[in-house]
Amino acid sequence: MRVCRADHAEDTDMSTAKWWVLDQRESGFALEHRPSGDLVLMNTATSEEHVLHGYVWKHCPHFGLQIQSEGPPPYGPWVENPEE
């Protein structure tokens, strides 16, 4: 299993930031919040994992975990949360 780290700048302008959710429609990706506190994006087809550091996140009932950022995280298929 390969683990990659994706660091995100802490100086995100929250006025332009959006909430992003993982587009899980047959994407093969899953997002997990681990007991260590890490947010991990997993490609279930390849077992590749990407640790997403420095993102503001929250849980929403319909989409699970979501990430706040000016743009989508660098790995996986992300879409803007239509409920925000």
Q: What is the pLDDT of residues 67-82, one digit of tens each?
A: 999 999 888 899 998 8
With tokens 């879409």, the residue in question is 79
Q: Within a domain: residue 44?
A: yes
Q: What is the pTM of this model?
A: 0.72
Beta bridge partners of 59: 65
Instruction: Provide the residue range defining the domain that includes 29.
Output: 3-78
- Examine the pLDDT at 49 and tell me if it is beyond 90: yes
Q: Within a domain: residue 56?
A: yes
Q: Within a domain: residue 84?
A: no
Q: Within a domain: residue 11?
A: yes
pLDDT at 78: 92
Phi, psi of 66, rounded to the nearest 5 degrees? -135, 155
Q: What is the pLDDT of residues 11-36, one digit of tens each?
A: 445 578 999 998 877 788 988 889 99
Phi, psi of 26, rounded to the nearest 5 degrees? 55, 30
pLDDT at 40: 93
Q: Within a domain: residue 31?
A: yes
Q: Within a domain: residue 38?
A: yes
Q: Within a domain: residue 70?
A: yes
**Structural domains counted in the chain:** 1
